């Protein structure tokens, strides 16, 4: 189902006109209301009207997470705190939390883009949504909630964790759609297996998974074990939350539509910051076009992907590829760049291995060393020494790095307990 057919299939020429009109409004708002942005324009000797359209955005500087922290908590907001309807914040494990605010109109946009995303993922009015994203300062739970109600679904606001209760309610309430992190969907599938629960006792048809990078290896694991169709939802608090982009359930693997009437994307080189052409991989940048309380200009997401228009697809909006990783999470091992998703992708080809793994990075005699710990599938009966060698060889051929492989028994490598899972254990500076 296409939730907002007029907008989602708007011809590109019209979409550009709409973006340019909205951009003009946003730039004026930022220039007038936020000293940080005014200073940026002044330093360049530019006025908002010098930026004629989205094609001129590259002249402006990026906004980075550090800028948000430097203006903690409300310094980049364009309205007074008494005009806000909601505030979310990141966990702030690496310093001050990043704070984001929403007016009533912003929340209406949030609901709209999540409603579009849910429909794109296969959900329909009248279905139930088992919402296992965390409720609280994290945007996942409340963000999905608003969009689901807007589309006419009943929401089960179960939040993350307490897996026993999740299993019970999945069976009792017969929800057709689940949303959570892909690693938590794996936990649910694993716990079903462990308890001998056949997921056919549930009524799940679709899973809307995101908030962390994941690959086809995890998709096929979840789809097989939970007997449903899984799609990718992407977003970040600084831009709105979940629902910045969404993969269509009938176009799996071809990328996710960015709702570009609200969020204008660019891809730039991670070192030079120079714009890159469609199809090339780089850092994803967003400019919000409609947000009121907290618009952002050229926000540096740190996420690595590429952009393309897919003219054979249902909607006109641009598609982004699955995120390979965050540029600040990229490991450099003996001079070679490494994202954990590259190792994960190889798991697709080895059915004896599960998609639950961990990369442990250590230093041995001044050299970085990566050990891949991976759980075997419960049904595995093969020769494990050969299996480990086979996996290590595939890693070396595909990625160019030698890694040690340790095969573990099922249930021994940490799993998500409800939220995002860190698959990298870096012991180099310990």
From 113, 155, 233, 376, residue interacting with ligand DLL (rule: CB under 6 A): 233
CB 266 within 8 A of CB 275: yes
- Of all residues in the shown chain, the one whose CB is closest to ligand DLL is 210
Instruction: List binders of ligand DLL among 79-108 (CB under 6 A).
Output: 90
Give the range of 120-128, 209-217, 352-360, 404-412 binding ligand DLL by CB under 6 A. 209-217
Question: Taking the CA atoms of the chain, what radius of gyration do you get in angstroms?
Answer: 22
CA distances from 160 to 115, 181, 191 (A): 21, 9, 14
Judged by CB under 6 A, does residue 131 bind ligand DLL?
no
Query: Which two three-digit tokens encode residue 391?
Result: 């996996």
Q: Write down the number of H helices and E strands in the chain.
A: 11, 21
Cα 387 from Cα 407, distance rounded (Å): 9
* 210 is an interface residue for ligand DLL by CB under 6 A: yes
In the complex with ligand DLL, the residue whose CB is nearer, 218 or 405, is: 218
Nearest approach in angstroms of CB 32 to ligand DLL is: 27
Q: What angle do CA 265, 282, 60 make, to 5 degrees?
A: 50
CB of 330 to ligand DLL, least distance (A): 12
Judged by CB under 6 A, the number of residues near ligand DLL is: 21
Q: Interacting stretch for ligand DLL, rule CB under 6 A, among 132-140, 290-298, 342-350, 374-382?
A: 132-140
Residue 363 neighbours by CB distance under 10 Å? 12
CB of 253 to ligand DLL, least distance (A): 14
Binding segment for ligand DLL (CB under 6 A), chosen from 204-212, 264-272, 312-320, 362-370, is 204-212
Among 16, 270, 326, 394, binds ligand DLL (CB under 6 A): 326
Q: What is the largest CA-CA distance in the chain?
A: 68
As a whole number of angstroms, the distance between CA 194 and CA 411 comes to: 9
Q: Out of 290, 301, 306, 327, name the contact with ligand DLL by CB under 6 A.
A: 301
- State in angstroms the smallest separation of the CB of 213 from ligand DLL: 4
- Minimum distance from CB of 83 to ligand DLL (Å)? 23
Q: CB count, 10 Å around CB of 298?
A: 20
With contact defined as beta carbons under 8 Å apart, do 297 and 287 qualify?
yes
Stretch of 13-21, 111-119, 236-244, 388-396 contacting ligand DLL, by CB under 6 A = 236-244
Nearest to 130 by CA among 110, 107, 160: 160
Identity of the residue, 330 or 392, whose beta carbon is nearer to ligand DLL in the bound complex:
330
SS3 call for 177:
strand
Q: Which residues bind ligand DLL (CB under 6 A)?
A: 90, 133, 138-140, 210-213, 232-237, 241-242, 301, 303, 323, 326
């Amino acid at each position: 189902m296409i939730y907002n057919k007029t907008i989602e299939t708007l011809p590109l020429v019209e979409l550009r006109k709409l973006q340019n009109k909205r951009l003009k409004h946003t730039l004026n708002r930022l220039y007038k209301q936020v000293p940080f942005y005014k200073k940026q324009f002044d330093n360049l000797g530019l006025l908002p009207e010098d930026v004629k359209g989205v094609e001129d955005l590259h002249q402006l500087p990026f906004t980075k997470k550090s800028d948000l922290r430097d203006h903690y908590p409300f310094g980049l907001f364009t309205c007074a705190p008494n005009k806000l309807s909601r505030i979310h914040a990141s966990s702030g494990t690496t310093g001050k939390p990043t704070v984001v605010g929403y007016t009533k109109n912003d929340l209406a946009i949030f609901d709209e883009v999540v409603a579009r995303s849910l429909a794109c993922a296969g959900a329909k009015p009248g279905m139930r949504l088992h919402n296992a994203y965390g409720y609280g300062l994290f945007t996942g739970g409340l963000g999905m909630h608003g969009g689901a109600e807007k589309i006419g679904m009943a929401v089960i606001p179960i939040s993350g964790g307490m897996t026993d209760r999740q299993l019970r309610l999945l069976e009792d309430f017969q929800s057709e759609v689940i949303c959570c992190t892909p690693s938590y969907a794996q936990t649910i599938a694993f716990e079903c297996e462990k308890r001998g629960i056949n997921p056919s006792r549930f009524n799940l048809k679709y899973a809307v998974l995101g908030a962390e990078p994941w690959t086809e290896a995890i998709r096929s694991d979840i789809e097989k074990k939970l007997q449903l169709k899984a799609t990718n939802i992407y977003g970040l608090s600084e831009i709105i939350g979940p629902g910045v982009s969404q993969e269509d359930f009938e176009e799996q693997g071809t990328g996710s539509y960015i709702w570009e009437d609200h969020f204008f994307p660019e891809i730039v080189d991670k070192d030079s910051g120079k714009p890159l052409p469609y199809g090339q991989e780089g850092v994803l940048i967003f400019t919000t076009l409609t947000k009121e309380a907290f618009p952002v200009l050229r926000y540096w997401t740190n996420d690595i992907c590429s952009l393309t228009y897919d003219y054979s697809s249902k909607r006109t909006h641009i598609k982004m590829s699955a995120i390979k990783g965050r540029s600040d999470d990229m490991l450099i091992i003996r001079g070679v760049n490494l994202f954990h998703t590259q190792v994960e992708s190889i798991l697709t080809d080895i059915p004896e291995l599960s998609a639950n793994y961990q990369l442990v990075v250590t230093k041995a005699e001044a050299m970085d060393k990566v050990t891949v710990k991976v759980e075997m599938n419960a049904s595995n009966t093969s020769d494990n020494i050969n299996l480990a060698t086979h996996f290590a060889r595939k890693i070396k051929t595909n990625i160019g790095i030698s890694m040690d492989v340790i095969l573990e028994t099922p249930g021994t490598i940490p799993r998500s307990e409800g939220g995002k899972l860190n698959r990298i254990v870096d012991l180099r500076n310990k």
